[in-house]
Amino acid sequence: MRNHLDRHLTAVRNLGILAHVDAGKTTVTERILYATGTTHKRGEVHDGTTITDFDPQERDRGITIFAAAVSCDWDGHRVNLIDTPGHVDFADEVERALRVLDGAVAVFDAVAGVEPQSESVWRQADRHGVPRIAFVNKLDRAGADLDTAVASIRDRLHPVPLVVQLPIGTEDAFTGVVDLLHMRALTWGEDSDTLVEGAVPQELREEALRRRRLLEEAVAERHPAALEEFCDRETVSAETLAAALRDLTRTGDGVVVLCGSAYRNRGIEPLLDAVVAYLPSPLDVPAVRGTHEGAEQERAADPAAPSVALAFKVSATATGRLTYLRVYSGTIEKGDTLWESGSRRTERIGRILRVQADRHAQLDRAVAGDIVAVVGLKAARAGSTLCAPQAPLVLEPPGVPDPVVSVAVEACRGTDTDRLASALARLAEEDPSLVVRTDPETGQTLLSGMGELHLEVAVEKIRRTLGLDVNVGRPRVTYRETVGRGVTGQVFRHVKQDGGAGQFAHVVLDVEALEEGFEFRSAVVGGRVPQEYVRAVEAGCRDALAEGPLGGHPVTGLRVTLTDGATHVKDSSETAFRTAGRFGLREALRACAMVLLEPVVEVAVTVPEEAVGSVLGDLAARRGRVTDSAVRGGSAVVTATVPLAELFGYATRLRSRTQGRGTFTARPTGYAPAPAVPATT
């Protein structure tokens, strides 16, 4: 039984498809489903017939908005695959997917190479330690070049690319690849459905041998077994190369690079072989780590161990509320009762589903290594841990980014106000990067998210699913406040006496600027403030960060030091010191020199060369700072850093300046000082 379970885990691959928007992620996913026999017709993004982009908005806009999970079988392996969004506004979907994946395929455009969002998702995968292989797509396009794309991967992402294929033909004449490990040609016929294996074409043999030698040398430099064989025989066998590539991929010391054209269905079968050969199974990744009562614990990928799973996505469907789980340990069966970390209560599993995007197949159980959806959970949210009640464990949830854009929303009819409030609450439950709050000054309901498109999609979802008429205000960016010059020795005394038990707390705070984030420390000596009160002061200071003195914006970039304090024998309490920390820091911030920060994004604008001058002038007028300019495939690509507030409506403006030929992408780069306090604050 034990060996059977291990074989099951070894044959599972949990991977995501990552890329910049329009690099071909969804097309790669569709071709994988077709090649594995999961679907019998190739879905097309431009026709709105894809399996994973099943939401009406995805099909209307031609982009992936929501991460979609699908499962397929290849060469005796179960492949659980998540197609992630490429647009920066939906980066949180990528973040939550990466949290539960064991590997990933990064897709790059053979003409554009590494694009801004390619870099962002690559860094996200770095943070999660997710092994990757690279697939250079669209080799059939004019201007496509594998070597140029690989050079951009090396220069911008800094991995060691290990290219294992050589294209046969260029642009329209691209018909297949040379497999450098086994020195064979893989070609696809006119219908692109039939893979033909043959000898390397004579005209490519010398180049293939040269590249095979470069691959052997690169692998031998980084892998002991390959180096030993290379030194003994002056060559490395295909078997040793494959084993070395698997090790280098899983340690992150190298990235295997393959190529093809997903649209023409060329290169998908070798990509699936590489997924099985090089990316890790659940048994190959470290045991998941969590905490229980402050102590850290590990839970191995063992179906016989106590159950633990992480919820990474919640979706409301016509058939009920779906909660997507990655099962890390144990076995979950239909009808089981599990402990939910967020609500600290038990939840019952009603049904377990194998997900095929918007289609589902019922399962009796899910075991360690599986990615499934379950029905019946009421309180679980994205980031919740579900575990066996007798063996509780809390896993670290995926990080949630702070929203950067807000819009005011209201129902057109007063009778729909309650329905709108319920719809907004459900949206925030499904997507943690959406925040709903009430403006304390105007009383308006504000919906905050990661960008204009993010908010447009959310509002349109309310209109379509509920038929609600909604008024939406103009977008506003979310500002931050930080300390430009701090203060020392700020004294605050909290004294309250109303007949019963009193409250007394005395604190002395120093505030200084910090590059980012918030840091609290205590320099109190002699026990003048007990440790439990020090923690209460820190909690109060964190409460005060919610609203700064300039305009009520969140405060960041400061260090607070508790230097002194005093207590009362009867009236001091944690509540009193928390209150003192909150109001003491608020007073200290009013005494500091504060700086308003605005969100800044890196914009990559692609335009015809003759329109560059006009675009540069427009970026300058938007307070943009150009950082790079290059020519790719006959078009100019201008990279600039621009305040997000200046980009509202930029897509329309760019199209009018370039006769509809210009496009741009943007990715957040942080915050920078704003020129003045905006009138809207």
Residue 651 shares a structural domain with residue 575: no
CATH number of the domain to which 567 belongs = 3.30.230.10
Residue 52 shares a structural domain with residue 162: yes
Do the bridges between strand 480-485 and strand 470-472 make them parallel or antiparallel, or are there none, so unpaired? Answer: unpaired
Distance CA 266, CA 289 (A): 40
- Domain assignment of residue 660, yes or no: yes
Distance CA 236, CA 277 (A): 18
Return the percentage of the chain with pLDDT > 70, whole number. Answer: 92
Strands (E) located in 434-587: 435-438, 445-449, 470-472, 476-477, 480-485, 487-496, 503-513, 518-522, 558-566
Mean pLDDT of 84-91: 74
Which of 255, 278, 301 lies at the terminal end of a domain, its last residue?
Answer: 278
Look at the block and give the residue holding tokens 């905050």.
448
Residue 121 shares a structural domain with residue 154: yes
Residue 645 shares a structural domain with residue 525: no
Structure token digits, residue 437: 């709050």
pLDDT in tens, 485-509: 999 999 999 998 776 678 999 999 9
Distance CA 184, CA 177 (A): 9
Distance CA 310, CA 308 (A): 7
Residue 45 shares a structural domain with residue 176: yes
What confidence tier does 319 reach under pLDDT thresholds 50, 70, 90?
Answer: low
DSSP string, 570-633: TT--HHHHHHHHHHHHHHHHHHSEEEEEEEEEEEEEEEEGGGHHHHHHHHHHTT-EEEEEEEET
Question: Rg of the Cα trace of the chain?
Answer: 28
CATH number of the domain to which 207 belongs = 3.40.50.300
Distance CA 320, CA 360 (A): 12
CB 477, CB 642: distance < 8 Å: no
Look at the block and give the residue holding tokens 């977008």.
475
- Domain assignment of residue 283, yes or no: no
| Three-state DSSP state, 269 | helix
Taken in order 668, 122, 72, 39, the sign of the CA dihedral is positive
Residue 576 shares a structural domain with residue 652: no
Rounded to the nearest integer, the mean pLDDT of the chain is 87
Helix residue spans in 404-451 (DSSP H): 417-430
Q: What is the pLDDT of residue 2?
A: 47
Query: Mean pLDDT highest for which of 69-78, 220-229, 546-555?
Result: 220-229
User: Which residues, 6+ apart, have CB-to-CB distance to 474 below 8 Å?
Assistant: 407, 648
DSSP string, 95-111: HHHHHH-SEEEEEEETT
Closest CA to 90 of 383, 358, 458, 445: 458
Residue 293 shares a structural domain with residue 267: no
Residue 297 shares a structural domain with residue 176: no
- Domain assignment of residue 573, yes or no: yes
Phi (first) and psi of residue 388, to 5 degrees: -65, 130
Closest CA to 604 of 661, 667, 552, 547: 667
Task: Name the DSSP class of 261.
Answer: B
Distance CA 65, CA 83 (A): 10
| Three-state DSSP state, 527 | coil
Lowest-confidence pick of 129-143, 319-333, 577-591:
319-333
Distance CA 71, CA 14 (A): 9
What confidence tier does 130 reach under pLDDT thresholds 50, 70, 90?
Answer: very high
- Domain assignment of residue 640, yes or no: yes
Residue ranges for the known binding site are 19-26, 83-87, 137-140
Phi (first) and psi of residue 166, to 5 degrees: -125, 125
| pLDDT over threshold 90, residue 85 | no
Q: How far is CA 46 from each of CA 17, 408, 656, 681, rounded to the nearest angstrom?
A: 19, 33, 24, 42
| Residue 639 CB neighbours (<10 A) | 14
- Domain assignment of residue 681, yes or no: no
| Three-state DSSP state, 131 | coil
| pLDDT over threshold 60, residue 128 | yes
Structure token digits, residue 56: 């009406």
For residue 560, count CB atoms less than 10 angstroms from its CB and return exposed for 0-12, middle for 13-18, buried for 19 or more: buried
Domain range enclosing 504? 481-591
Distance CA 368, CA 282 (A): 8
Closest CA to 642 of 621, 614, 623, 667: 623
Report the residue count for the chain: 681
Distance CA 210, CA 315 (A): 51
Q: What is the pLDDT of residue 3?
A: 52
- Domain assignment of residue 400, yes or no: no
CB 67, CB 82: distance < 8 Å: yes
Residues facing 445 on adjacent strands: 409, 438
Return the percentage of the chain with pLDDT > 90, whole number. Answer: 42
| pLDDT over threshold 80, residue 521 | yes
Residue 145 shares a structural domain with residue 241: yes
Structure token digits, residue 567: 């207590």
Residue ranges for the known binding site for GTP are 19-26, 83-87, 137-140
Q: What is the pLDDT of residue 137?
A: 95
| pLDDT over threshold 70, residue 361 | yes
Structure token digits, residue 549: 């003195």
Long-range contacts of 616-625 (CB under 8 A, 24+ apart): 618/653, 618/654, 618/657, 622/646, 622/647, 622/650, 623/675
Q: What is the pLDDT of residue 453?
A: 83
Q: What is the pLDDT of residue 69?
A: 81
Mean pLDDT of 103-107: 94
Structure token digits, residue 558: 């400061």
CATH number of the domain to which 648 belongs = 3.30.70.240
Residue 578 shares a structural domain with residue 439: no
CATH number of the domain to which 470 belongs = 3.30.70.870
Which of 257, 278, 299 lies at the terminal end of a domain, its last residue?
Answer: 278
The pTM of this model reads 0.79
Which of 329, 360, 395 lies at the terminal end of a domain, its last residue?
Answer: 395
Structure token digits, residue 509: 């705070």
Q: What is the pLDDT of residue 679?
A: 43
Look at the block and give the residue holding tokens 């809207």.
680
| Three-state DSSP state, 638 | strand
Structure token digits, residue 556: 């960041």
Q: Which amino acid is at 7?
A: R
- Domain assignment of residue 143, yes or no: yes
Mean pLDDT of 209-233: 94
- Domain assignment of residue 679, yes or no: no
> How many domains is the chain built from?
5
Do the bridges between strand 470-472 and strand 405-411 make them parallel or antiparallel, or are there none, so unpaired? Answer: antiparallel
> Measured in Å, how far apart are the chain's first and last C-alpha atoms?
64
Residue 50 shares a structural domain with residue 151: yes
Residue 332 shares a structural domain with residue 413: no
CATH number of the domain to which 293 belongs = 2.40.30.10
